[in-house]
Structure 1
């Protein structure tokens, strides 16, 4: 029997993940059956189950892949001294995140926001997926914390506010932007970057009534 190459195995796994992502983004996780995935990728059950045991493992693999790409973006940033301005940093990370499935188009619009909303919703129910996403986000928080401490050490950011608090705020902002993409329609990352530039240009002077 001819030996199957690693390239073939990787391509087949990619085919299954992409097909499952289209199904989940189009119809939602719970409305998608494994039969739907089999039809989407045009493979037998045996071929698909060789790689993934079911929907839960598929969506966990999708979440892990997104988080891996974001960690890669931070690795790229860490090689820059000093780090880029905040608007550039957010654009780099968010662009890398949304670029994982740039070819995923549903009803003429980017499907990644719909897909990631499915991941977040399922993580609230599935303990295994929650553990994967929590571990990934802990790594992201550490990366953001390090960047913000660098900003503080250089004087670019006020140092009397814990870096961890800034991290939570920025992650919430990025998550909110992704949710807006799903709920209100697509918008380029430059919109978020413009908003960041406006906010960071505000003076620290407080007015009193």
Structure 2
């Protein structure tokens, strides 16, 4: 009898299978919500048997954990690229348009919003989100320190923390505005976010 764990000896294949499940779960969560989507529905959308899926995920909570981790990695990669630029302030300002555009895209924000709603009810998911947020805040904080030092600005820890929270709130709020006001003027929003971000980055 074939050992189902053998597939994990091929990391690329295992990751492809995991991605296949996550893509199917994203469709099911968007359509039915976290509680409405069953593992049977996800397995059907993924084209796998439920037993096959359990080789990669213990259940819906572990699928959510994978979504959270994938989002952290996406954000960390963007922040790392910005932090490696010669002028970090300009790099962060240049990212405003793509940041707003991403947060206006339901394909990007719908699952995080669904997970946030679940976190309000599920302490395990809340803990996952809080850990992910801590790591993302740290990456952003490191960039903000670099950006301000490049301008010769020394900043207290408390002030840095406040500015980091404000920057995150600015971009996370875009998704909710998109949900409530889908016809908002994207161009004017990008311009306004650009103006709002400048003093948070380098005003004393």
1:60 alignment partner in structure 2: 65
SS in 2 for 1:12: helix
In the alignment, does 2:174 pair up with 1:169?
no
SS in 2 for 1:185: coil
Task: Return closer, same or farther for 1:112/1:188 CA change in 2, 3 Å cut-off.
Answer: farther
Most deviating of 9-18 and 181-190: 181-190
SS in 2 for 1:182: helix
Task: Return closer, same or farther for 1:79/1:116 CA change in 2, 3 Å cut-off.
Answer: same
Query: Would the aligned equivalents of 2:119 and 2:129 in 1 still touch at CA under 8 Å?
Result: yes
CA–CA distance in structure 2, aligned partners of residues 51 and 30 of structure 1: 20
TM-score (norm 2): 0.78
Task: Return closer, same or farther for 1:71/1:190 CA change in 2, 3 Å cut-off.
Answer: farther
Deviations 1:69-120 (A, max 9, x none): 111111111211220424324445566xx49xxxxxxxxx733222110011
| Corresponding pairs, count | 191
Of 76, 82, 85 in structure 1, the residue corresponding to residue 81 of structure 2 is 76
2:136 alignment partner in structure 1: 140
SS in 1 for 2:36: coil
1:102 alignment partner in structure 2: none
Of 27, 40, 49 in structure 2, the residue corresponding to residue 35 of structure 1 is 40
Instruction: List alignment gaps of at least 5 residues for structure 2.
Output: 200-204
TM-score (norm 1): 0.77
In the alignment, does 2:49 pair up with 1:44?
yes
Matches within 5 A, 1:82-97: 82-85=87-90, 86-91=92-97
Deviations 1:174-209 (A, max 9, x none): 11112223333277976543112334679xxxxxxx
